[in-house]
Amino acid sequence: MSIPNPPATPAPQQMPPPMPPAEATVSAPKKTNVLALVALIVAAVGFIFACIPGALIVGWILLPIAFVISLVSLFLKGGRKWMGVVGLILSVVGTIVGVVVFLGVIASAADEAFDEAFGDTETTVTQPADEEVVAVDEEEPADAAEQGTRENPYPLASQISTDDWTVVVNSYTADGAAAVADGMFNDPAPAGSHYEIVNYTVTYTGDESGLAAEVGIAFVTSAGNVVNSYDSMVVLADGIGMDELYNGASATGSQAFLVPDGETVLIRVSPGMLADEVFVQP
């Protein structure tokens, strides 16, 4: 009796050898652009100094350096360049800010020097009715216009004073045709207008000397127009000139103004080049 052959045992399947783990691809971090970092720091420090009036010179030294370094850093290969861009922007903006601060310092210094050179220009007025000195900027009641304005002018013969000048409007002549005719080479008033005359005295009270022409006299008409004596070339026999006056000296003279017919006027007095204007009722 034959013995059946046992079933063949399948050969074990060989598993493929395990694959080695794939190496993780890691991008190397970008290197820091040292030059860009330096430019950013220098620009930030320069910007801060440019905002300080007393340290402007430091800002003006650092900002151009930061500008150049920032530009160089942008052309380098590799590295983060955003710091170079920020440094470049800061250096430009800081320079502009520094210029603005510098101009502000110059303007402030000029104002101080101007005030120191010309002194206080506060105007005071003594009215002929009483001898009380009233400051032009003195507060008035809420329902009353400030005296010396168009709405509330001072009367004739008021003494208008600053540190350098005292002005008194002595008289006003509504019809100045005769006075103009007495002058040399004067033409009559054109049709529709007439001449009016103001006589006034200026006294210099400053420290050095001044010209009588520093005091300004003008008319303001009821229509709101300003009429100056130089608008018409009229020379009066007693015209006030370019007299140079020292402390205590005075000059008296007249000026003619060409006024449209039918309009009334107020006299506007400027007792010095920088003084407040004061209105006087003819």
- Following DSSP, what letter does each residue of 239-255 receive, concatenated? B----EEETT-EEEEEE
Tell me, yes or no, if the pTM score tops 0.85.
Answer: no
Note down pLDDT in tens along the chain; length 282 residues: 555 555 555 555 555 555 555 444 445 555 667 887 887 888 888 888 888 877 778 888 888 888 888 888 887 776 667 777 887 888 888 888 888 888 888 887 776 656 555 555 678 888 886 544 444 444 555 556 788 899 999 999 999 999 899 999 999 999 999 999 988 788 899 999 999 999 999 999 988 889 988 899 999 999 999 999 888 888 898 888 788 999 999 999 999 999 999 999 999 999 988 888 999 999
Angle, CA 68 vertex, CA 67 and CA 71 arms, to 5°:
90
Q: What domain range includes position 191?
A: 124-137+147-280
Same domain flag for 206 and 69 = no
Same domain flag for 156 and 268 = yes
- The count of domains in the chain is 2
Same domain flag for 206 and 90 = no
Strand partners, 168: 159, 201
- Taking residue 239's Cβ as centre, other Cβ atoms within 10 Å add up to 14
Cα–chain-centroid distance for residue 110? 11
Residue 185 falls in which region: left (phi positive, over 0), alpha (psi -120 to 50) or beta: left
